[in-house]
Structure 1
Amino acid sequence: LSPTGHLVVAVCLGVIGTLGFITNFVVLVLFCRYRALRTPMNLLLVSISVSDLLVSVLGTPFSFAASTQGRWLIGRAGCVWYGFINSCLGIVSLISLAVLSYERYCTMLEPTTADGRDFRPALGGICFSWIYSVAWTVPPLLGWSKYGPEGPGTTCSVDWKTQTPNNISYIISLFTFCLVLPFGVIVYSYGKLLHAIRQVRRVSSVVTRHREQHVLVMV
């Protein structure tokens, strides 16, 4: 990138990082302050806010500083740290969204058994999201692929370029289990929810029409 391009990226990262920190911090404050917001579903949203807030604190400042200078500033170890943290927290958010959609789908299937005060399913989903994400982002630290510079050299991520069986197998696995699979769960769960809502509306419309016809007959 040209110096102007790096400057534009730096400004965008600064805005995104600042807004991300403020909005997610506000979410956490509201959740802690207002008891009515402390529901199992909202707890999953809090987990997402925590991961996004950590990105704003532990990741964005480094890429922002690098973009202002046009080069990576904290060495190889810092690059590995940045790549691991951002990959892990990004996957946490996506898996948490998949868990949230599945929880809502389960609530739709069995609304009578859903307990708004039972935090165990939500806590289980949160633990699963974080453990699953760590399990998929630690391997590059142990030799299955690696973390390195990407793009204009001001950020770091999984090595997408090296064409070796070791690296390609990790990329395919990561893409399948950390993108396609959670995205599929989200699409399936919300697709079922939308289908159920349409059915309810259709039934409600039929019932309303019958009532109107009955009233007309009586009149």
Structure 2
Amino acid sequence: MILANVTLSGCTGANSALCAGAGEGHLGGGSYRTSLTPTGNLIVAVCLGFIGTFGLTNNLLVLMLFCRYKMLRSPINLLLINISISDLLVCVLGTPFSFAASTQGRWLIGERGCMWYGFANSLFGIVSLISLAVLSYERYSTMMAPTEADSSNYYKVYLGIALSWVYSLVWTLPPLFGWSHYGPEGPGTTCSVDWTTRTANNISYIICLFVFCLVVPFLVIVFCYGKLLCAIRQVREINASVSRKREQHVLLMVMVMVICYLFCWLPYGIMALLATFGPPELVTPEASIIPSVLAKTSTVINPVIYVFMNKQFYSCFHALMCCETPRRGSSLKSSSKAIRAVTGPRRSNDFLFMVASLGQPAATVPQLGPSFEPTIDITKGPSSDINNPVVVSLVAHYDG
């Protein structure tokens, strides 16, 4: 997908226009000509304009809600904010330059600007991907914990946020120091990692980047949310009518998250592998711009899926639009705490009772006597509707 480090003597065939533009940029001191037609540049510019505008608006709105309403400042919501910040930085420090290049038909900020653009967008994009994986693991570990997580303990979340940035730096700094490199991408209106140079140095980096920054986060997300669905189905075995709606809701959320993840990033990964291992002319500059644009749509999609489909944030957003005070009942619990499960008996003679009930928690927990020890706090969905199902997990110690 990237046509970097080309020489004028090697410019033939389909790449001649881009090579001539690259040569002109190096000789003229600053601009790479695009190989797209004026109509193609216009279409790309319109797409990038919409992505930049809506991505900036959505993520700014998320940050504004987080700053305005203290009830949103929970540990797990900080992970959502980290995703929004990384997406916002893409919209501010990346998309405007590719948008300007598409409107003018040439790269405008030179070779050093191209390297900076490729590094910055790769850094923020990988931060967003790793944050999604950390978010899924946090929800999974919270669900599997024997007791409700301490809402005032931010240590694990801060550690996860730091991990996402350090991990991203580990994989985006090497091209600046000789392991692969950043250069013009596709038709020349964006910059990224060099996918086309077929040396051992470059190919090894591409393989590592694909595995550790695309495949691994995806597997973590699928595993953690798969475990969440399994826990819900265990509850459904006790009372199918109570847990069916919750199972369907979580299943829908998981499907949407996985499909959008693949929609945004899988085409980009496939194009990178085809450009690296396929025939030299298989990936044309015109075709390679499509996966690049799709990857940038994640800055618009992530806030919608992970934030505005979150009942806490939606309640605050509704209150902001209507100039009201958000209902506390909609924001006291994080969405990651809606379902809990016990991983196993704490003693060999323990057995697990999963009890599903309706109505207010205090009125539905039976007095089972001292031999029954509740190990999981009663949790309910963020909605304040008293008719929502409540799932209670109890461990009974059997001494007989």
Shorter-chain TM band: over 0.9
C-alpha deviation, 1:111, in angstroms: 4.7
Q: Give the gaps of 5 or more residues in structure 1.
A: 209-219
Partner of 1:174: 209
| Residue-pair matches, total | 208
Identify the match of residue 77 of structure 2 among 23, 42, 62.
42
Write the mapping of 1:49-198 to structure 2, written as runs, cut at 5 A: 49-198=84-233
C-alpha deviation, 1:89, in angstroms: 0.3
Tell whether the 8 Å contact from 2:236 to 2:242 is kept in structure 1 after alignment.
Answer: no
Tell me which amino acid in the other structure corresponds to 1:22: T
Tell whether the 8 Å contact from 2:180 to 2:202 is kept in structure 1 after alignment.
Answer: yes
Q: Deviations over 1:164-187 (max 9, x none)?
A: 000000000111111111111011
Tell me which amino acid in the other structure corresponds to 2:51: I
Residues in 2 aligned to 1:125 and 1:65: alpha-carbon distance in whole angstroms: 35
Write the mapping of 1:11-30 to structure 2, written as runs, cut at 5 A: 11-30=46-65
Partner of 2:240: 205
Tell me which amino acid in the other structure corresponds to 1:167: N
C-alpha deviation, 1:202, in angstroms: 2.2
TM-score norm. by structure 2 comes to: 0.51
Where do 4+ consecutive residues of structure 1 move more than 2 Å? 205-208
User: Against the structure 1 CA distance between its residues 111 and 71, is the aligned structure 2 distance closer, same or farther, given a 3 Å change threshold?
Assistant: farther
Residues in 2 aligned to 1:141 and 1:182: alpha-carbon distance in whole angstroms: 24
Partner of 2:335: none
C-alpha deviation, 1:119, in angstroms: 1.0
C-alpha deviation, 1:206, in angstroms: 8.5
Partner secondary structure for residue 149 of structure 1: strand
Q: Deviations over 1:110-160 (max 9, x none)?
A: 051511221111111000000110111000000000001111110000000
C-alpha deviation, 1:205, in angstroms: 2.5
User: Against the structure 1 CA distance between its residues 86 and 206, is the aligned structure 2 distance closer, same or farther, given a 3 Å change threshold?
Assistant: closer
Partner secondary structure for residue 191 of structure 2: strand
Q: Once superposed, what is the RMSD of the aligned Cα atoms?
A: 1.4
Tell me which amino acid in the other structure corresponds to 1:200: V
TM-score norm. by structure 1 comes to: 0.92
Residues in 1 aligned to 2:142 and 2:242: alpha-carbon distance in whole angstroms: 25
Residues in 2 aligned to 1:107 and 1:19: alpha-carbon distance in whole angstroms: 32
Tell me which amino acid in the other structure corresponds to 2:178: G
1:3 partnered with 2:31:
no
Partner secondary structure for residue 106 of structure 2: coil
Residues in 2 aligned to 1:90 and 1:46: alpha-carbon distance in whole angstroms: 14
Q: Give the gaps of 5 or more residues in structure 2.
A: 1-35, 244-400
Partner of 2:373: none
Partner secondary structure for residue 86 of structure 1: helix
Percent identity, aligned pairs only, is: 70
Residues in 2 aligned to 1:118 and 1:69: alpha-carbon distance in whole angstroms: 50
User: Against the structure 1 CA distance between its residues 63 and 206, is the aligned structure 2 distance closer, same or farther, given a 3 Å change threshold?
Assistant: closer
Residues in 2 aligned to 1:169 and 1:91: alpha-carbon distance in whole angstroms: 18
Tell me which amino acid in the other structure corresponds to 1:108: M
Residues in 1 aligned to 2:148 and 2:49: alpha-carbon distance in whole angstroms: 45
Residues in 2 aligned to 1:182 and 1:103: alpha-carbon distance in whole angstroms: 13
Identify the range of structure 1 (116-125 vs 199-208) with the bigger mean alpha-carbon deviation.
199-208
Q: Deviations over 1:172-209 (max 9, x none)?
A: 0111111111111011001111111122122222899x
Residues in 2 aligned to 1:145 and 1:9: alpha-carbon distance in whole angstroms: 27
Tell whether the 8 Å contact from 2:174 to 2:180 is kept in structure 1 after alignment.
Answer: yes
C-alpha deviation, 1:69, in angstroms: 1.2
Residues in 2 aligned to 1:200 and 1:83: alpha-carbon distance in whole angstroms: 47
C-alpha deviation, 1:163, in angstroms: 0.3
Q: Deviations over 1:80-121 (max 9, x none)?
A: 000000001000000000000001110111051511221111
- In terms of Rg, which structure is larger? 2
1:32 partnered with 2:67:
yes
